[in-house]
A and B are shown apart, each in its own frame.
Chain A
Amino acid sequence: MAVKKEGDKKELTIHFMPYSEIAKEDGLARIKKLMGLILENKIIILQGRLKPEEETKLIETTMTLIGNLKGFQGVEISTLSGNDNQSAFDKVRHNIARILVGEQDAITLIGPATFIKEIKKDPKKIELMLKRR
């Protein structure tokens, strides 16, 4: 959500990132790319998901920046995955597909906490609540 001030008007930008944009990147490059966009105050809809260790790296990077970057409060992130609560057979099928084409059957919503109040998730949907500004 890039917020551009035009007088009193504020324009929001939502950035859609296809999986192909991060597929060949290593963990650090992925984090760098995402953080770059977050620091431009953009909300990213990422096709796919980060690996658990990439998510912790993202949190570590975020924590390092809070307090050192004026106004930065951190990030909000949530992943909706197609493989939640699936059967054992489906899990095996999903793991094979993941090895072949990467984790594409998920959507990750991520953005700056300065603008996102909350991301509410239940197993089947995620809702993005923006702060009133």
Chain B
Amino acid sequence: MMMKKFKEFTKKLWMKFFKSQGQVKLGFYGPPNAGKTSLANKICQDWLGEDIGSVSKIPHETRNVQFKEKVEIEKNGKKLEFKLIDTPGIATKIDYEEFLQFGLSKKEAHARAKEATQGIIESIKWLDDMDAVVIVLDSSENPYSQVNITIIGNLAARNIPVLIVANKIDLKKSDIKKVEAAFPEYKVVGISAKNDEGMDDFYDEVFKLVKRVK
């Protein structure tokens, strides 16, 4: 109980510090290969002209939490400064053999699996430190996965505002309505980070999201 109160107190202190700096900590969470880094890269390219991290078709490409400080986004004459935090995809299982199918050697696959497990633990630890979170989902996949529900449930328990991004709307199997039906209490915005679709709406929603940061 004391520990929890202490954590809340230190969090508030951090919040005050960052708010005084005018910087909002915006996290990107979701399952592996949903396009978190692609979206974070798109934002960084739009406003800084550089990437935050590498992307790959091989799952668990992002295995460390990655940051980009002082990303200033301007929309409709308003400016906001963010610290973008791109997190490794959260999963409940990792099988190194999955990586072998992408041409990795056994040694590389084992190393990737090990790093991925550590990355997931790191992602979870960072949940406490976010001001607002963008959940990135692959809109062509089933949104009812327990990982999605677990992440959103944890953010709700911490009163952290959430925006859900249904990424990959360029894919034939994409179904935004299914994502909306799965999470009726949350705003869902459809984008294709790869094809630069829906980004205007996304930025509008990010500005609305920040208004809900306590």
- In the bound complex, do residue B93 and residue A76 qualify as a contact, i.e. CB atoms below 8 Å apart? yes
- A57 → chain B, closest Cβ, in Å? 9
Across the interface, which residues of B come within 8 angstroms of A26, CB to CB?
none
Q: How large is the interface on B (under 10, 10 to 19, 20 to 34, 35 or more residues)?
A: 20 to 34
Contact A73:B157 (CB < 8 A) given known A66-B113, A121-B142, A122-B144: no
- A119 → chain B, closest Cβ, in Å? 8
Contact A59:B113 (CB < 8 A) given known A74-B92, A75-B92, A121-B146: no
Across the interface, which residues of B come within 8 angstroms of A52, CB to CB?
150, 153-154, 156-157
- In the bound complex, do residue B181 and residue A59 qualify as a contact, i.e. CB atoms below 8 Å apart? no
Across the interface, which residues of A come within 8 angstroms of B110, CB to CB?
67
- A38 → chain B, closest Cβ, in Å? 11
Closest partner residue, chain B, to A123 (CB atom): B144
- In the bound complex, do residue A59 and residue B142 qualify as a contact, i.e. CB atoms below 8 Å apart? no
B114-158 Cβ-contact flags toward A at 8 Å (1 or 0): 100110110010010000000000000010111101100110110
Closest partner residue, chain B, to A56 (CB atom): B124
- In the bound complex, do residue A59 and residue B150 qualify as a contact, i.e. CB atoms below 8 Å apart? yes
- In the bound complex, do residue B142 and residue A122 qualify as a contact, i.e. CB atoms below 8 Å apart? yes
Pick the most buried of B146, B156, B181: most chain A CB atoms within 10 A of its CB: B146
- In the bound complex, do residue B184 and residue A85 qualify as a contact, i.e. CB atoms below 8 Å apart? yes
A104 within 8 Å of B (CB atoms): no
18 contacts between A and B (CB under 8 A): A51-B153, A52-B153, A52-B154, A52-B157, A53-B154, A55-B150, A55-B153, A62-B92, A63-B94, A63-B118, A66-B94, A66-B113, A66-B117, A74-B95, A79-B149, A119-B146, A122-B142, A123-B181
Residue positions of B touching A, CB distance < 8 A: 90-95, 110, 113-114, 117-118, 120-121, 124, 127, 142, 144-147, 149-150, 153-154, 156-157, 181-182, 184
